[in-house]
Structure 1
Amino acid sequence: MSDQQQLLDILAQVGRALGNGHRLALLERLAQGEAPVETLATTAGLTVGNASQHLQQLRRAGLVTATRAGKQMIYRLTDERIITLMGLLREVAETNLAEMERLVGRLFADDDADGALEAVSREDLLAGLARGEVALLDVRPEDEFAAGHLPAAINIPLTQLEAMLDRLPRDREIVAYCRGPYCALSHEAVQRLRQLGYRVRRFEEGYPEWKAAGLPVV
C-alpha cells in the first residue's frame, strides 16, 4: 500500500467516526465544554456504556481526548477546529441534500409563521449588542453556561423559564441562543416567550460557532 493511500485511509477513519448521529450529538455537547461520560450520555440519550463506546471511536479518530478525575473520565474536544468541521458538514448537507432542507424547514416551521421575524444572524446580533438594543438569553443547562457563554448573557435553562421571567427585560429585544443551529432549546424558548408578549428571536448559530469565530466569550 502506498503512503498516499495510507494517508487517505487515516482520513477515512476520521470520516467513519463522524458517520453516526449519536457521535455527532456527543461532539455537539463537548463543543459547549468538557464533561464526564455520565453527562454526555444523558445529553445524547444514551446509556453510559453505549456513550463510552462511541467516545472511544471518537478518541481513536483523534477528535476527543480524556483525562481521569477520580473515578470519572472527563472528555473534551481535541481541537476547536472540530466545531468548524461540523459546521462545514452542516452547510454541505443543507446545500446538496433535499431531505436535509426539508427537515430543517420542518424543525423551524413556526419561527416566522407571520412573516415578520427570522433568526438573527451573527452580524445583526453584533450590531444590536453594540447599540445596546439586545439582551442575550442563554437557555442551556447551568453547567454548560458555566463552562463558557456570550458576554452579558442571562442564563435561564429552558426548564426554569416561566419561573424566572422577572430576569428578562421588557424594553429590549431578547435573542435566545443555545448549543448550535439545530438546538431545540432556543427554538422552544422563543415560542414560549412570544406567547407571553416578549419581543424575542433566535440566534441562528450557537455558543460553539460564536466562540469558533473568535468572538468574545466569558
Structure 2
Amino acid sequence: MTCATPKQDIFLSLAELAQAVGHVNRLELLEHLAQGPRSVEELSTRSGMAFANTSRHLQILRRAGILKTERQGKKVVYSLTGPVEVVLLIKALGQLGEVHVAAVGQSLGTYYRVHDDKPPLSRDELADLIAEDAVFVVDVRAEDEFELGHIPDAINIPMLDLHQNLDRLPRDRRIAVYCRGPYCVQAYEAAGFLRSQGFDARRLEDGFPEWRALGFPVEAVGPAGREGS
C-alpha cells in the first residue's frame, strides 16, 4: 500500500512495526531475546508458550525486521536485529505506560514495590560505585543469561539460590542487584530479601539490557573464558 505523501508512507511503516511489537507474548519474547540469542525451543520453555505459538510470534517479529535467524545444527536461533533500538523502544513504552496507564502503576504498586519500595540505583550511580570499588554486584538471572553478558565483576547467584548463598556476600559493602529488565520481579525480591537479612542492598534501575544498550561496559563468559566487551 502506498500513501499520499512520503510522510504517510513512513507513518504506515511505523504503524506496521508497532503492530508487530504490540502483543503481550511478543513483548515477553523480546525481553528474553534482549539477553541474547535463543532457539525456538528455549524461548518456548522460558515463556511457557507452546512451541507452535512461540514460533508463530517469532515469525511475525522476523517479518517485521525485528528479528533475524541463524541455523545451528538442527535448531533455528533467533536474535534481535537491533538490540539497542529494541531495548530502548520497550523502555520508552514502559515509561509511557507508567505515566498514563493506571493498570501499569497499580501492578508496580501492588506486586513489585511490596518486595522493594526503596529507590533504585541509577546506572550512573552504579558505574561510579564500581569505579570506586565501593559496591558488590549480584546478577540474579539464570546462569546462561549471565554467561551471554553481565556487568563487569558481577557474580551470578540466581534468585532461587540466593538464600543458600548469603555467606558469599559481604556485610560491610553496599550490594547492587539486577535482573533482565525493568519488570523482572526478581531484582525487587532480591533487594528486599537481602535487606531483611541485614545487608545494605539496592536494585539497579531497569536491568542488564538497558545497561548494555546505553553504552555501559559489559563482560561475557565465552568458551575461552571471560572476555571484556
Q: TM-score, normalised by structure 1?
A: 0.92
1:108 to 102, 107, 112: 112
Task: Provide the aligned C-alpha RMSD in A.
Answer: 1.6
Q: Secondary structure at the match of 1:93?
A: helix
Q: Which residue in the other structure is 1:43 paired with?
A: 46
Q: Secondary structure at the match of 1:193?
A: helix
Letter in 1 for 2:56: Q
* Residue matched to 2:154: 153
Identity of aligned residues (%): 44
| Residues 113 and 188 in structure 2, CA contact (< 8 A), matched pair in contact too | no
Deviations 1:152-178 (A, max 9, x none): 001011122122222212221111101
| Partner residue, 1:134 | 135
**Hey, what does 1:188 align to over in structure 2?**
189
Contact 1:31–1:208 at 8 Å: present in 2 too? yes
1:6: Cα distance to partner? Answer: 4.0
> What SS is found at the alignment partner of 1:204?
coil
Structure 1 residues 217 and 64: alpha-carbon distance in aligned structure 2, compared to 1, 3 A threshold: same
- Normalising by the residue count of structure 2, what TM-score does the alignment of the two structures yield? 0.88
Distance 2:109 2:214 in 1: 25
SS in 2 for 1:161: helix
Q: Could you tell me how far apart the structure 2 residues matched to 1:50 and 1:82 are? A: 21
CA distance in 1 between counterparts of 2:12 and 2:200 reads 51
One-letter amino acid of the structure 1 residue matched with residue 22 of structure 2:
G
Aligned pairs (5 A) from 1:52-131? 52-80=55-83, 81-111=85-115, 117-131=118-132
Residue ranges of structure 1 left out of the alignment (5+ in a row) = none
Partner of 2:168: 167
Query: Which moved further from structure 2: 4-13 or 79-88?
Result: 4-13
Q: CA deviation at 1:43?
A: 1.8
Structure 2 gap segments, 5+ residues each: 220-229
